[in-house]
C-alpha cells in the first residue's frame, strides 16, 4: 500500500478549499544556492481554479500555476499547543479535521461555519459545524441556518464544541439555540490517539488486503488469532452488516461511506467465513477517522473489535497517518473503556442541538 510520506499526486480539483495543504511545484529557474528545481508551498488553500492554486502561507498568498504542480496533499492544521500530535490541535481545528472523515452529501459555507445535509442520515452529516465565526451576529446566523435546513425538509441541527466538561448554556451559540427551543442530545466525546500506539496494541501480522491479529487477553474469551480483511472497496457483505444494526438511508449511507479522500473497510470473519465484525477508517487532512465499529452479538467479548481496530490502525500507519480520531457518546461507558484501553484519550466534547 502506498505511503504518504511525500506529497501524493492528485487530480485537479481534489484538494478542498479551506484545508491546509502542501503543494510541490517546479521552479521557473533552478534555485541559485541549492540548484533545486522543485519547491513546496505550505498553507491554507484559499482558491482553486483551472489555472492554478492560491495558498495562504505565513508570508502571504502564493499562486501556483497548475502547469507547474507536480504533487499535492492535505496536511493537518498547525498545532495550537504543545504536546503529543494527537492532542496538539485546538478544538475548532479537530472539528474541521473530522468533517472529511464522515462527509456530507451537500455542504455550504456561512462564514467559517459549515452547513451539512445528507437526507437526514446521521447527526454528523446533517448538522452545522460552528467552528469559527459565521460572519454575522449569532441570531442572524441561526436564522440563515434554519432557512437552509427548511429548504431541504430537515430540522435545523447545530453542533457546539468545547472542552470535555462542556456546558452548552455558557456558549453563545448554545445559549441562543436553547433560547429558541432547540433540544440537546447527549454529549459526544472526541477521542484521539497516536496511530502506532493503537496499531501496536497487540502482536499482529498484516499482509496485502488481510490483517491477522493476535489478541492476547484484552477481551474475555479472545481467540489466539482473528482474520480481518481490509480494503478500500465498500463490499455488499460489509454494507449488509452495517445495515443489520441500524436504520439506514441506503443512498446517503453509500455517499457518506465512500465520500472521504481515502477510506478503508475492515471485515472480521469467523471460522466459517461469516462476517462477525466491521469497522471503517477514513483518511482526511492527514488524520485517520475510525467509525462504524460493530460486532455481531454472538461474537462479542472474543477480541473481534480489538482485531478490527488494530487492522484499521495498521492500514492508517501504512499510509503515513500519525493520529487517529473517533467519536463516542459520553454515556457509552463500555465503548469509552474499550477505547481508553487501546490508547485513546479525550480531546474535547460536542453537543448536537436540534429543533423539530
- Give the model's pLDDT for residue 14: 65
Q: Are residues 39 and 112 in the same domain?
A: no
What is the rounded average pLDDT for all residues in the chain? 88
Quick one: pLDDT at residue 211?
A: 42
Q: Are residues 258 and 154 in the same domain?
A: no
Q: What is the pLDDT of residue 93?
A: 93
| 202 and 167 in a common domain | no
C-alpha span between 57 and 37 (Å, rounded):
20
pLDDT at 280: 98
pLDDT at 254: 98
Tell me which residue of 240, 181, 177, 190 sits closest to 346, measured CA to CA.
Answer: 190
What total number of domains does the chain contain? 3
Contact 86, 324 (CB under 8 A): yes
* Residues of the domain holding 94: 85-188
**Is pTM, for the whole model, over 0.75?**
yes
Predicted confidence at residue 356, as pLDDT, reads 85
Mean pLDDT, rounded, for 69-74: 86
**Number of Cα atoms under 13 Å in the Cβ half of residue 251:** 6
**pLDDT tens per residue, range 313-327:** 999 999 999 999 999
Mean pLDDT value across residues 285-299: 96
Last residue of a domain, one of 137, 155, 188: 188
Residue position matching grid coordinates 485546538? 90
Average pLDDT for residues 294-304, to the nearest whole number? 95
pLDDT at 202: 52
Distance CA(60)–CA(76), nearest Å, equals: 19
| 349 located within any domain | no
Cell numbers for 21, please give them: 495543504
In a domain, residue 241? The reply is yes
Examine residue 8 and state whether it is found in any structural domain, yes or no. no
Using the 3D structure, point to which of 12, 46, 74 is the last residue of a domain.
Answer: 74
Residue at a domain's end among 140, 166, 188: 188
Is the pLDDT at 134 greater than 90, yes or no? yes
Lowest pLDDT segment from 48-52, 76-80, 278-282, 293-297: 76-80
How would you classify residue 333: left for phi > 0, otherwise alpha for psi between -120 and 50, otherwise beta? alpha
Residues 151 and 220 grouped into a single domain:
no
CATH for 327: 3.40.630.30
Pair (55, 28) in one structural domain: yes
Same domain, 217 and 258: yes
Asked whether residue 11 is assigned to any structural domain, the reply reads: no
Residues 201, 317 share a domain: yes
pLDDT in tens, 158-177: 999 999 999 999 999 999 99
Amino acid at each position: 500500500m502506498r505511503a504518504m510520506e511525500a506529497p501524493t499526486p492528485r487530480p485537479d480539483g481534489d484538494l478542498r478549499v479551506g484545508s491546509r495543504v502542501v503543494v510541490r511545484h517546479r521552479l521557473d529557474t533552478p534555485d541559485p544556492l541549492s540548484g533545486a528545481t522543485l519547491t513546496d508551498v505550505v498553507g491554507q488553500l484559499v482558491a482553486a481554479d483551472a489555472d492554478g492554486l492560491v495558498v495562504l502561507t505565513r508570508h502571504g498568498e502564493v499562486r501556483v500555476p497548475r502547469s507547474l504542480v507536480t504533487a499535492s496533499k492535505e496536511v493537518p492544521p498547525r498545532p495550537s499547543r504543545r504536546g503529543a500530535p494527537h492532542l496538539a490541535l485546538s478544538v475548532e481545528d479537530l472539528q474541521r479535521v473530522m468533517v472529511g472523515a464522515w462527509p456530507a452529501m451537500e455542504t455550504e459555507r456561512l462564514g467559517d461555519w459549515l452547513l451539512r445535509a445528507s437526507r437526514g442520515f446521521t447527526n454528523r452529516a446533517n448538522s452545522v459545524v460552528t467552528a469559527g465565526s459565521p460572519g454575522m451576529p449569532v441570531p442572524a446566523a441561526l436564522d440563515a441556518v434554519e432557512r437552509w435546513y427548511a429548504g431541504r425538509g430537515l430540522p435545523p441541527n447545530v453542533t457546539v464544541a468545547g472542552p470535555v466538561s462542556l456546558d452548552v448554556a455558557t456558549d453563545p451559540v448554545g445559549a441562543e439555540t436553547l433560547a429558541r427551543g432547540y433540544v440537546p442530545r447527549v454529549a459526544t466525546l472526541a477521542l484521539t490517539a497516536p496511530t502506532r500506539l493503537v496499531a501496536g496494541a497487540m502482536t499482529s501480522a498484516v499482509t496485502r488486503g488481510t490483517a491477522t491479529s493476535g489478541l492476547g487477553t484484552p477481551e474475555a474469551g479472545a481467540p489466539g488469532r482473528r482474520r480481518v480483511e481490509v480494503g478500500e472497496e465498500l463490499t455488499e457483505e460489509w454494507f449488509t452488516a452495517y445495515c443489520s444494526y441500524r436504520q439506514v438511508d441506503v443512498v446517503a449511507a453509500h455517499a457518506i461511506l465512500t465520500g472521504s479522500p481515502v477510506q478503508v473497510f475492515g471485515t472480521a470473519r469467523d471460522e466459517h467465513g461469516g462476517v462477525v465484525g466491521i469497522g471503517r477508517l477514513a483518511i482526511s487532512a492527514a488524520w485517520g477517522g475510525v467509525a462504524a465499529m460493530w460486532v455481531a452479538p454472538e461474537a462479542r467479548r472474543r477480541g473481534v473489535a480489538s482485531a478490527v481496530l488494530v487492522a484499521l490502525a495498521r492500514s492508517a500507519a501504512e499510509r503515513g497517518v500519525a493520529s487517529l480520531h473517533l467519536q463516542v457518546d459520553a454515556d457509552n461507558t463500555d465503548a469509552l473503556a474499550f477505547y481508553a484501553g487501546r490508547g485513546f484519550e479525550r480531546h474535547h466534547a460536542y453537543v448536537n442541538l436540534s429543533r423539530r
